[in-house]
Structure 1
Amino acid sequence: MTQDTPAPERIASVADRAFFEQGTENVSLRDILREAEQSNMSAVKYYFGSRDGLLRAVFRRRRARMSATRNVLLDRLEVEGRAGDVRALIEVSVLPHAQYLREAPPASDYARFAARMTPRVDYSSDDVDHLEPADQRIIRSLRHALSGLPADVVDARIDTAFQMIVGAFAAYEARREEGLDYGPRTLDALSTTLVDMVTAGLTA
């Protein structure tokens, strides 16, 4: 990233990395602006409205990266002829979360940040164009695969499924940080449990 990069993008990029490495509560706006080479300490308010606006911008960046990962997996499902398989679609939803959390440093609150922001996303809307491209593909494919159920039931289950997936990873992250020795012991175990439960819940 260079000086030619627009200031809002530089700030959001620095904040994204700092939050990932240190946790959202352990990074000051002053430190973010200093690293983004912003001399005006009001730049966050100017470009994002508030700290919460900056958090939303970081969330959008992370959703876009997750979408790119999921699109690769969805393309593979199409090649394999499994684009309408509910379990495979849920694996595409779950496994990138596990991978991102696996790569997060000890101080990160990556999953808890996602759980804090995800309730603001409506996965049950008839119009999914506001979602990231991969989420659009997953939801449309799930709706088609579950077309034997009432549409409102399907939409409610899909929204609940997305919220549950993020919440489960947030609980795992919190327990790991606090040294609590219960629940799924590994990310692989959690991922398998989530795929089993969400697939069963969607198709019940």
Structure 2
Amino acid sequence: MDALPAAETIDGKTRLILAGEQLFAQNGINGASMREIATKAGQGNHAAVQYHFGSREGLVRAIFDYRMEQMEAERGAMLQRARAMGRLKDARTILEIILLPQLHLHDADGNHSYASFLSQYLLQSRSPEFGDFSGSEPPHLTEALRLMRERVDYIPPYVAQRRLISVSLMFLNILMRHHGTDEAEFGESFPDALEDTMEQIVGSMCMPLRLVPTQGATSDS
């Protein structure tokens, strides 16, 4: 297994976070051992993950915290522009603030390993609370999620959370599916695919809730 490229500016704890992200992305959140992560991070101590993070769950939380912090400045700038333009109630604008900063997150190999890691995490999410993913609450993301919840206040919070997870997976799929490919292979450019996906996302997130009772449905006895 190849170790992460040497980088004097990255401390050992951060190397464990980045190694964990890559291996979780490749093998699943429960599919990579703590020993493998330590080895990939270039740590001689195979218990380094437990030492720094306590557990697998602690490492998962650290990955979220690390990446969320990286996106905060961009989200803050996007919120500031949206506020100046009077677009804080525009669904497309809010969803861009939530999703687009992930475009710039790459691992040491130039891949979107965080997108794959996050996809796997979201598929396991069971929380009905809107915006509840990792427990991380960076202020700019928290503000964007609050604006989104206000924008779709006509649907119940558990529906809003289900939709938020669904549209996040749509966005992450574009990052993973189109990475490293050319236009000829897909018949469309990445910007075109992204624009179409964002329009789908807005429609899926904001559509009215229409529940039609099933014909002949009976109550459980």
TM-score by length of 1: 0.69
Q: Give the superposition deviation at 1:92.
A: 1.6
Determine the structure 2 residue equivalent to 1:156.
162
Q: CA deviation at 1:90?
A: 1.4
- Distance (Å, rounded) in 1 between the aligned partners of 2:127 and 2:141: 9
Spell out the pairing of 1:164-179 with structure 2 (5 A cutoff): 164-173=170-179, 176=180
In the other structure, the counterpart of 1:5 is none
User: Of residues 171, 194, 199 in structure 2, which corresponds to 1:196?
Assistant: 199
Contact 2:115–2:176, Cα closer than 8 Å, also in 1: yes
Amino acid at match of 1:29: A
Cα distance in 2 between the residues matched to 1:180 and 1:14: 36
Q: Per the alignment, in what secondary structure is the counterpart of residue 105 of structure 2?
A: helix
CA RMSD after TM alignment: 3.7
- Aligned partner of 2:30 in structure 1 is none
Alignment of 1:1-204 (within 5 A): 10-17=11-18, 23-24=22-23, 28-34=37-43, 40-50=45-55, 53-101=58-106, 105-106=109-110, 109-119=113-123, 124-125=128-129, 130=135, 131-173=137-179, 176=180, 181-182=185-186, 184-186=188-190, 188-204=191-207
| Residue in 2 that maps onto 1:6 | none
SS in 2 for 1:72: helix
More helix by share: 1
- How many Å separate the matches in 1 of 2:121 and 2:131? 20
In structure 2, the gaps of 5 or more residues are 1-9, 28-35, 208-221
Bigger RCO of structures 1 and 2 (CA < 8 A, at least 6 apart): 1
Given the superposition, is the C-alpha separation of residues 10 and 52 from structure 1 closer, same or farther in structure 2, using an over 3 Å criterion?
farther
Output the TM-score relative to the length of structure 2. Answer: 0.65
Q: Which moved more, 1:85-94 or 1:142-151?
A: 142-151
Alpha-carbon distance in structure 1 between the residues aligned to 2:11 and 2:110: 25
Task: Letter of the 2:16 partner, please give it.
Answer: A
Pairs aligned (count): 186
Shift of 1:69: 2.0
CA deviation after TM superposition for structure 1 residue 196, in Å: 0.4
Letter in 2 for 1:181: E
Distance 1:52 1:151 in 2: 26
C-alpha contact (below 8 Å) 1:12/1:54 kept by paired residues: no
Work out whether residues 84 and 141 of structure 1, in 8 Å CA contact, stay in contact via their aligned partners in 2: yes
> What SS class does the counterpart of residue 181 from structure 1 fall into?
helix
How many Å separate the matches in 1 of 2:199 and 2:50? Answer: 44
CA distance in 2, matches of 1:192, 1:199: 11
